[in-house]
């Protein structure tokens, strides 16, 4: 890496989890970097894995390379060596995985505290003893991140309030910066369903299948509708998807549930548009981005009345008790058979999603950088 000597300040961004293969955090990092303003007097250096060396979307940034995963112990030492080489005036870690040995100024993004809340053997693929060790390590590094950070960014007031409740920090140390929706979801053409082979009508869920996502309630609601609606599940395969597949089999729902795996944004947008509704039954959410994507695509949203979802979706969604599958089933029926309600929700969704912007997110983050630079 060539160091440019005439720059006044250097900001380093930990981009090891860049890209949608890393789900929500990866999308956040990708859009943060894509919308950064051009500044002659500030040099932005990215820390990326070696496989992003030729990534065209990152070609305008100087890079250093880190081969270890952010969650590994070795990454702590590797990051320290990298930072001693770059010597940034400011480091932004867009996750809680800070380099604990780095003495410089750090801004950290904490997307949620879900692992504080969703705990226990059902939430892990590891043994109980290893999980306990890992959980304690997680709690320790989050506390270190909160204490060491010059400033903390969160995606919702819900998480700001939760941080303030759990940790003794000043509210001035935390900024709420909402996220955004990629432009492709705003297209309006309905295409692609015939190729997907999904029987209509159907409702859709997109996201992972961890226990806190509360998918069994969604399955029970769809099951109770006796085949009048199908369900599309968009998620990457994991041990948790295997558990849900087993549950689908036990409930005799194989003919009405479609496991679509990971799909591209363009295909996901088409799936949203052609569905009757997007449903998120989640007990806890960091931001709820898929619901906003669905709103952008012109799809009604049904959401659990939990965590940050009412804050993010406002009046543009229909809410249900996440422990009550019967209530969810009743709302699904209303959506299917009440065209006026559908259109009202689509209209309100378009208005709601317009409040969110990746460009605004990146600009607000850049302002925090400016305030934090020495």
pLDDT tens digits for range 281-316: 999 999 999 999 999 999 999 999 999 999 999 999
Beta bridge pairs of residue 231: 203, 257
Q: What pLDDT, in 10s, does the model give residues 108-155?
A: 999 999 999 988 878 777 778 888 888 999 999 999 999 999 999 999
Residue 22 CA to residue 24 CA, distance in Å, equals: 7
In the chain, the number of structural domains is: 2
- Name the phi and psi angles at 172, rounded to 5: -70, -15
Whether residues 121 and 267 fall in one domain: no
Whether residues 339 and 363 fall in one domain: no
Per the rule left: phi > 0, alpha: psi between -120 and 50, beta: everything else, 120 is left
> Can you read off the two tokens belonging to residue 213?
């996502």
CB atoms within 10 A of CB 255: 10
Q: What pLDDT, in 10s, does the model give residues 339-373?
A: 999 999 999 999 999 999 999 999 999 999 999 99
In the chain the first and final C-alpha atoms are separated, in Å, by: 24
- DSSP 8-class letter at 357: -
Q: What pLDDT, in 10s, does the model give residues 77-118?
A: 999 999 999 999 999 999 999 999 999 999 999 999 999 998
In a domain, 154, yes or no: yes
User: What pLDDT is attached to residue 1?
Assistant: 43
Whether residues 146 and 188 fall in one domain: no
Q: What is the mean pLDDT of the chain?
A: 92
Residue of 313, 256, 257, 324 lying closest to 290 (CA atoms): 313
Beta bridge pairs of residue 63: 46
- The residue segments making up the domain with residue 319 are 184-353
In a domain, 2, yes or no: no
Which stretch of 9-18, 122-131, 316-325 has the lowest confidence by average pLDDT? 122-131
User: Global pTM?
Assistant: 0.92
């Amino acid at each position: 890496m060539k160091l440019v000597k005439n720059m006044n300040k250097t900001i380093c961004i930990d981009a090891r989890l860049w890209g949608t293969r890393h789900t929500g955090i990866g999308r956040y990092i990708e859009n943060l970097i894509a919308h950064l303003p051009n500044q002659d007097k500030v040099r932005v250096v990215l820390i990326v894995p070696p496989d992003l060396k030729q990534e065209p979307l990152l070609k305008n940034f100087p890079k250093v390379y880190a081969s270890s995963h952010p969650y590994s112990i070795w990454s702590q030492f590797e990051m320290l060596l990298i930072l001693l080489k770059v010597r940034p005036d400011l480091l932004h870690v867009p996750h809680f995985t800070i380099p604990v040995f780095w003495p410089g100024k750090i801004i950290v993004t904490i997307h949620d505290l879900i692992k504080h809340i969703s705990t226990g053997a059902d939430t892990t693929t590891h043994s109980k003893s290893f999980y306990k060790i890992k959980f304690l390590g997680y709690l320790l590094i989050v506390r270190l991140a909160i204490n060491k950070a010059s400033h903390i960014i969160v995606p919702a007031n819900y998480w700001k309030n939760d941080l303030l409740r759990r940790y003794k920090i000043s509210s001035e140390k935390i900024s709420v910066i909402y996220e955004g929706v990629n432009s492709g979801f705003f297209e309006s053409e309905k295409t692609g369903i015939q190729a997907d082979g999904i029987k209509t009508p159907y409702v859709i869920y997109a996201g992972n299948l961890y226990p806190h996502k509360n998918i069994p309630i969604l399955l029970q609601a769809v099951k109770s509708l006796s085949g009048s609606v199908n369900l599309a599940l968009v998620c990457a395969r994991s041990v948790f998807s295997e558990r849900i597949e087993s549950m689908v089999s036990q409930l005799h729902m194989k003919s009405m549930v479609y496991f679509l795996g990971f799909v591209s944004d363009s295909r996901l947008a088409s799936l949203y548009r052609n569905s009757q509704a997007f449903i998120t039954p989640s007990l806890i959410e960091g931001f709820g981005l898929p619901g906003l994507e669905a709103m952008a695509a012109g799809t009604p949203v049904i959401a659990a009345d939990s965590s940050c979802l009412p804050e993010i979706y406002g009046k543009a969604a229909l809410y249900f008790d996440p422990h009550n599958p019967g209530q969810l089933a009743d709302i699904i029926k209303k959506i299917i058979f009440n065209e006026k309600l559908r259109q009202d929700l689509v209209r309100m969704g378009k208005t709601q999603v317009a409040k969110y912007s990746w460009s605004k997110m990146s600009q607000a983050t850049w302002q925090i950088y400016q305030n934090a630079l020495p």
